[in-house]
Amino acid sequence: MDEDAGAGGAFDAFTFTATWRDYLPIALSNLALTIVTLGIYRFWAKARERRYLWSHTRFVDDTLEWTGTGKEMFLGFLVAMVILIPVLLFIQFGAQAMAMRGMLGLAFTLLLASYAILLYLYGVARFRGLRYRLSRSWWHGVRGGSDESGLRYGVSHFWKTLVGSVVVALLVPWSMTRLWNERWSGMSFGDRTFECNVTTSGLMGRWIMVMLCPIAGALIAVILAAAMYNGDPGRTFVVTAITFFTIYGLMALAGIGYYAAFLQAAIGDLRLGRVCFHFDADSMDWLKLFLGNIALVIGTLGIGIAFVGYRNWSFFIHHLGASGEIDELHQSTTHVPRDAEGLLDAFDFGAV
């Protein structure tokens, strides 16, 4: 197919037609069944939620379709737990038992190896989770996917994450942008491969602000504490609380600003053929979303958590755009994975 977007100009490519009233029965029944089954139904709940959200998301002239099932996600999770449980048990109990028997060196070495394995597996999970979602997302009878296993990406995720953490974590933007490029460049939709080459331009300054927040927060807290301190030792708790909330409050605000800038840059550099994507949510938009989700959950005594996925997806689609021309798409020939998002679910990483 070949859809003209108007000489490369921007157009409202994505629309979301769902309403919270229509979604209400799905949200409440998903929550109730998840509670009754002690969390087991959450895989079927996720599949049901995605079928609804995808079917009410329109790209240009057709809606999306989700074909994933709760069964395949549940089985994938069980397989992932077989891999993770031995590592987690050693971290929780094995290392301590070895240390108590005097094998400190071996225990420390194996503990580091266990955390290295988890970091590697998390990278594999990120890649395979995206691969699975694309393979189950259809548009105009065409699906996405990838022929890569994600094992090589796991190695890249491991060392780039470690490098990004050195020098007081100043290289985090570098590792995030490189991994984003690598992850999406391994994906395709139909017979077209995604392209992305986002850089750290415009991101380093925001990240440095995040790193400076503890210093700035501590200075502000000291000034405020000095102004209110009258020699009463009983106010130590108040001074500590001011310091804590000031530092973490500033870090949260700066972190939201960095995350908003990162997604604008990352999605803005994503291309599929001649289609270019963009994302216009700024820091204030993200802050409103987060505060709204918190207020919803607290205000409904937890029931509102069933609507968080709906709100996040609606937010994402409303701020997502595209421009350019859609070339003729042929069906993907990539392997259809059967491992679902099991490993990613085991790490409890959100879909959006």
Give, for all 352 residues of the chain, the pLDDT tens digit.
444 443 344 457 899 999 999 999 999 999 999 999 999 999 999 999 999 999 999 999 899 999 999 999 998 888 888 888 888 888 888 878 887 888 888 888 888 999 999 999 999 999 999 999 999 999 999 999 999 989 999 999 999 999 998 877 889 999 999 999 999 999 999 999 999 999 999 999 999 988 888 787 777 767 766 666 665 656 666 767 777 777 788 888 999 999 999 999 999 999 999 999 999 999 999 999 999 999 999 999 999 999 999 999 999 999 999 999 888 889 999 988 877 777 777 676 443 3
Considering the entire predicted model, what is its pTM?
0.87
Q: Contact at 8 Å (CB) between 157 and 120?
A: yes
Cα 116 → chain centroid? 21
Q: Contact at 8 Å (CB) between 327 and 19?
A: no
What amino acid is encoded at 12 in this protein?
Answer: D
What are the backbone angles phi and psi of residue 255, rounded to the nearest 5°? -65, -40
Q: Contact at 8 Å (CB) between 262 and 286?
A: no
What amino acid is encoded at 342 in this protein?
Answer: G
- The radius of gyration of the chain's CA atoms, rounded to the nearest angstrom, is 23
Q: What's the number of CA atoms in the CB half-sphere (13 Å) around residue 243?
A: 12
Q: What H or E segment, with its residue span, contains residue 272?
A: strand 271-272
Residue 63: strand pairing partners = 58
Q: What H or E segment, with its residue span, contains residue 137?
A: strand 137-139
Question: How far, CA to CA in Å, does 150 sit from each of 126, 128, 146, 333?
Answer: 8, 6, 9, 17
pLDDT at 228: 65
Q: Contact at 8 Å (CB) between 204 and 261?
A: no
Taking alpha carbons only, the member of 62, 47, 59 closest to residue 136 is 47
DSSP assignment letter at 282: -
Rounded CA gap, 136 and 138, in Å?
6
Q: Contact at 8 Å (CB) between 57 and 63?
A: yes
Torsion sign across C-alpha atoms 57, 145, 349, 71: positive
Question: How far, CA to CA in Å, does 52 sit from each of 27, 43, 98, 206, 268?
Answer: 11, 14, 50, 36, 27
